[in-house]
Structure 1
Amino acid sequence: MSDRIAEFGAGERTSAERGAVGPGGAGRGGTGRGSARLPRLVATDLDGTLVGRDDRVSERTAEVLSRMSAAGTAIVLVTGRPVRWMPTVYAHLPAPYLSVCANGGVIYDPASDRVRDSWAIPPALLSELCLRMRAAVPGVVFAVEVDDGRAMRYEPAWPVRWDVGLPTSESAPLAELTERPAVKLLARAPGVGSDEFVALIESIVDGEVVPTHSSRSGLVEMSARGVTKATGLATVAAELGVDAADVLAFGDMPNDVPMLKWAGRSVAVSNAHPAARAAAGDITLSNEDDGVAAYLERLLEPAP
């Protein structure tokens, strides 16, 4: 999965009720065929799940999502990406599907280019946690997603990649990074793997934010207390009147695990991280082999 992740956090709407976890409709390793009832909502991660290495959604996948939508199933994109990275995805999709961005920290409506909800980490807590992590982790550097993920601020030592040179991206000292609420706090440290780094950060932040990761490059993403992909998706599902049991979710990385556990049916792509595979009820093909499309095509087939 790509590193392209932003940040958010925060607050009262993070207590969305959790639904029961159910197995995938076809049994582990299968793709299902001729489901008697299509899911009322399909939620899918992007990078590493729906999107390929070329940063594109395939024509096959776009067509299947369109068919699912036409059959009455709501499509929701649930991603770690910030809002500002979404246009490249929508350029390859047949409709402006609602998005849960920043690992649950933002609900974004692309049709109106409007952030409907956001949950941010408050400045005082940002400052406290960064100082706490800096004292415990040698060489750690930070970045923050601000303005609901429309802008990024980062320390001078931060390795800027996809945002380099953009007006929405700006270097600043740590004191300035923590002056405004952030929908996500990002941390990197030299020579530390993502799984190991998340465990270390968890021991430092003590539940005051939610650390996770969606890459294998040592990047840790932190959202506000209680904010995950599951809480963001649960908020959207409740607004649509859809129970967790009627949700089918796809993912590939640890930041997808809460969503995969919350949804009534859950599927990991074959290239998924072990934690995502363990949380899912089914396994489908990899993102490069259009695994989401393959699974949904089988659901759309008439029962024999």
Structure 2
Amino acid sequence: MGEPPRLVATDIDGTLLADDRRLSPRTAGVLARITAGGTPVVLVTGRPIRWLQLVYDQLDAPLPAICANGAVVYDPIADEVLRADPLAPELLAEVARRLRAEVPGVSFAVEIVDSRQMRHEAHYPLRWDADADAIRAVESPEELLAAPAVKLLVRAGEQDPDVFVRVVAGALEGLAEATHSSYSGLIEISAAGVTKAAGLAWFAARLGIDERDVLAFGDMPNDVPMLTWAGRAVAVANAHPAVREIADEVTAANTEDGVAAYLEKVFGLD
């Protein structure tokens, strides 16, 4: 990629944001200058739509987002979901059946209504999200799995996520995608073929942009498909070893404005 990219795609948490979930003025400024110059920027995240406002509040203008690990493509200006690839209720039921048989003490939550709402089993631990209007415990397993879900969330007590994701992926081989984006033991499941790469490929095609002209940034295993697909893949210095292994380059850490520093160099910004 000798020329500047035609599309910039970046993960949010651990990549664009610092560890306190703040976006630095430097990074916000660089993104604003790039988009003003005509190069689109898209956020590609495991976050649900309802978690995007924290980021949008720190940007000069909201950016389009590929949410729920590629299952939802969102236009914040129109507040419109452009594309959604949920797990159907029958598929959710089979995934849950396999995991209940394979994993002792497993508990589930689902992202529904294009990730604007979440439903969870009573014993599922809520570690970050407690919005009473959008989040609710269900009374039965059947209720949990009754609606299409853009993401199924899986926990089973304290787990090494790299080990746990292999267990879950093995149980669901050929049925669904399993990945993780944190070190807390949370596994995230999407429909087969639904990844950050798939969502980004759809978005890029909509703009008439080839993958060779896409620059992508990431830090965790759920970013690997996107980084493998993009023409240039850049890991932040704090990235998971699986991401550093496949990245074309490594920039500074998220706490040191690594994405902004790399973009300043690529676009010749002072």
TM-score, L = length of structure 2: 0.97
Q: Which runs of 5+ in 1 are unaligned?
A: 1-24, 26-35
Q: Which residue of 1 aligns with 2:244?
A: 277
Q: Which residue of 1 aligns with 2:137?
A: 171
| One-letter amino acid of the counterpart of residue 126, structure 1 | L
Q: Which residue of 1 aligns with 2:88?
A: 122
Deviation at 1:72, TM superposition (A): 1.9
TM-score, L = length of structure 1: 0.86
Deviation at 1:165, TM superposition (A): 4.2
Matches within 5 A, 1:125-140: 125-140=91-106
Higher relative CO (Cα under 8 Å, sequence separation at least 6) belongs to: 1
Q: Which residue of 1 aligns with 2:34?
A: 68
Deviation at 1:132, TM superposition (A): 1.4
Matches within 5 A, 1:63-102: 63-102=29-68
- Partner-residue secondary structure (3-state), 2:206: helix
Q: Is the 8 A contact 1:49 1:292 kept in 2?
A: yes
Residue-by-residue CA offset, 1:256-275 (whole Å, 9 max, x unaligned): 00000000011000000011
Q: Which residue of 2 aligns with 1:189?
A: 156
Q: Which residue of 2 aligns with 1:219?
A: 186
Deviation at 1:86, TM superposition (A): 0.5
Q: Tell me if 1:108 matches 2:74.
A: yes
Q: Is the 8 A contact 1:38 1:73 kept in 2?
A: no
Structure 2 CA distance for aligned equivalents of residues 192 and 70 of structure 1: 44
Q: Which residue of 1 aligns with 2:235?
A: 268
Q: Which residue of 2 aligns with 1:198?
A: 165
Matches within 5 A, 1:250-261: 250-261=217-228
Report which stretch shifted further, 254-263 or 66-75. 66-75
210, 235, 238: which is aligned to 2:177? Answer: 210
Structure 2 CA distance for aligned equivalents of residues 292 and 166 of structure 1: 34
Structure 1 runs of 4+ with >6 Å offset = none
- Partner-residue secondary structure (3-state), 2:250: strand
Identity between Structure 1 and Structure 2 (%): 55
Q: Which residue of 2 aligns with 1:158?
A: 124
Q: Tell me if 1:52 matches 2:18.
A: yes
Deviation at 1:161, TM superposition (A): 2.6
Rate the CA distance shift 1:73–1:193 in 2: closer, same or farther, 3 A: same
Q: Which residue of 2 aligns with 1:31?
A: none
- Partner-residue secondary structure (3-state), 2:77: coil
- Partner-residue secondary structure (3-state), 1:248: strand
| One-letter amino acid of the counterpart of residue 118, structure 2 | M
The count of corresponding residues between Structure 1 and Structure 2 is: 269
Q: Is the 8 A contact 1:250 1:269 kept in 2?
A: yes
Residue-by-residue CA offset, 1:102-159 (whole Å, 9 max, x unaligned): 0000000000111111001000111121121111111110000000000000011111
